[in-house]
Amino acid sequence: MFHIYMESSHMFVYNLALSWARAPAACLNFNCMLILLPVCRNLLSFLRGSIQFCSRTAARQLDRNLTFHKLVAYMIAFHTAVHIIAHLFNFEFFMDAQLNRNSSFLPFVLSEIGTDDNASFLNPIRSNETNPTIVMFTTIAGVTGVVITLALILIITSSMEVIRRSYFEVFWYTHHLFIIFFIGLVFHGYGRIVRGQTAGSQQTNKPHLCADRFEDWGKNESDCAVPEFAGNPPGTWKWVLGPMILYVCERLVRIYRSHQKVVITKVVMHPSKTLELQMRKKGFHMEVGQYVFIQCPSVSRHEWHPFTLTSAPEEDYFSAHIRIVGDWTQALYEACGGDKTETQEAWKLPKYETGRMGDGPFGTASEDVFRYEVVMLVGAGIGVTPFASILKSVWYKRIQNNQEVFTKKIYFYWLCPETEAFEWFADLLQSLERQMAEKDVANFLSYNIYLTRWKETEAAHFRVHHEAENDPITGLKQKTLYGKPNWDNEFTNIASKHPGTKVGVFLCGPPQLGKSLEKQCLSHTEGDVKFIFNKENF
């Protein structure tokens, strides 16, 4: 890139500012091509499904799509900054060239070229009665540049974690400024403001011979004609057109899928503000641990919220357990008649038969659970939901259908700060426990529940009932443990009980827990036991 520009005469004498601007521009072309790809969810789901037959490791990389998207975004921001700063210097030099009206100053001489025909000029600043700011607002490149940079800055500030986690709608709607960003980006080069010496002119005025003899250009004795310049054609569209088309297809697929009718068959109110929706959709097929986006038009026409599926593929409906924590979930709860005490007839529930739409399912790491012989499942708080689906599926396969499952042993760890809010899950564990005892396969699933926070008054109750057969909190035979698990011990135990196996570790929970589990996996992978860490998050 620099080599080409060294040949054109304005680079020979001016400065490297234009190269400094063109280099990040090339990187920006590349990055803007990449940034749309990780958010094509349906495409990624499809790729994940196909690649899995070749290499599961490769397929797992696709779980990190959001991290990749953010990384590319940071690169775009960085390159934009370098690009703008370089152009600031560039404009200064171009302006200098017009203001310093001295015939023995090459930049001025070059700027004078093309003043008559207004075609073969080099300096985009055409007169000395202007200033860089005015020039910027009167050129296509300048205006598009300002607009897309503003769009980028607004996208970035509304994507900060604080805003994203608290006010998702602001983040989501502002992020759609990317449409303006891409349109502006494609038109950014349309004014052909970056100019280089034409090929024809390079024969009559060879820069390396004629650059110093600029006072003699065009004169009869010299063999240097006056050079001619033309603008370079815009090139960004070649990079971004493909991904833009892919993304448009992605959105169309989402719209199509979302129009398929979803029918609510049952609504269950669980204690502690948890709503379970059981739904049916024609042609719906899911795997364990996948998630769907749900929209309820009577609540909000434009909001789609992701929820992990808590039903197993073997069931004839799909369900999601939704915690009432924000406006949308609260409104959904009320629309389902949650605030009314008497039972509601199904046909009275608002708008469900015609309006409810679901988009998905989308795959995440949990699908891999059944590929491991020994599995550690760790769920923290609400993160336990994907495991509901997995455990139910395990039960159906192993116990009801008596299928041969590759997975021989599951260690389940559930960390929660409070006893309420997950009674529905405790119920699931209770019924699993009962059924496993009946079929005499109690050793298949070993679960540990850790209560990480408790009140003083409760603690006294636990102490007194310590010897009871069933746990005072969950009613399960397996006692609840208090505090956080000692992961070192747990991993060592499992490693010693299952030598020579690959143990899959699956986490749905906070990132700090993920980091510590990842470390444990690495440190305990020795000899023939391998711990392989899989993380899921939204």
Find the shortest distance in angstroms from Cβ 453 to other proteins: 16
Considering beta carbons, is residue 327 or 353 the nearer one to other proteins? 327
Considering beta carbons, is residue 91 or 318 the nearer one to other proteins? 91
Considering beta carbons, is residue 89 or 362 the nearer one to other proteins? 89
In the chain, what's the furthest Cα-to-Cα distance?
Answer: 111
User: For tokens 């992701």, what's the residue?
Assistant: 306
Find the shortest distance in angstroms from Cβ 157 to other proteins: 4
Considering beta carbons, is residue 89 or 284 the nearer one to other proteins? 89
Residue 108 · residue 101 · CB < 8 Å:
yes
Find the shortest distance in angstroms from Cβ 171 to other proteins: 9
By CB under 8 A, name the binding residues for other proteins. Answer: 81, 84-85, 88-89, 91-92, 95, 131-133, 136, 146, 149-150, 153-154, 156-158, 160, 162-163, 166-167, 169-170, 173, 326-328
Q: Which residues contact 419 (CB under 8 A, 6 or more apart)?
A: 451, 454, 458, 473, 474
What b/e string do you get for 110-146 counting C-beta neighbours within 10 Å, with b at 16 or more? bbbbbeeeeebbbbbbeeeeeebeebbeeebbbbbbe
Considering beta carbons, is residue 54 or 162 the nearer one to other proteins? 162
DSSP lists the bridge partners of residue 507 as 378, 535
Considering beta carbons, is residue 84 or 405 the nearer one to other proteins? 84
Find the shortest distance in angstroms from Cβ 89 to other proteins: 6
3-class SS of residue 186: helix
Considering beta carbons, is residue 198 or 300 the nearer one to other proteins? 300
User: For tokens 């929820």, what's the residue?
Assistant: 307
Rounded Cα–Cα distance for residues 530 and 521 (Å): 8
Residue 281 · residue 262 · CB < 8 Å:
yes
DSSP strands (E only) in 223-349: 229-231, 262-270, 274-281, 291-295, 305-308, 318-323
Considering beta carbons, is residue 65 or 452 the nearer one to other proteins? 452
Q: Please count the CA atoms within 13 angstroms of the CA of 46 that sit on its side-chain side.
A: 7
Q: Residue 511 burial (CB < 10 Å; 0-12/13-18/19+)?
A: exposed
Number of neighbouring beta carbons within 10 Å of residue 331: 16
Backbone angles phi, psi at 373, to 5 degrees: -75, -40
Find the shortest distance in angstroms from Cβ 132 to other proteins: 4
Find the shortest distance in angstroms from Cβ 533 to other proteins: 27
Whether the link from the prior residue into 24 is cis, omega within 30° of 0, is no
Considering beta carbons, is residue 140 or 146 the nearer one to other proteins? 146
Find the shortest distance in angstroms from Cβ 156 to other proteins: 7
Find the shortest distance in angstroms from Cβ 335 to other proteins: 16
Find the shortest distance in angstroms from Cβ 415 to other proteins: 20
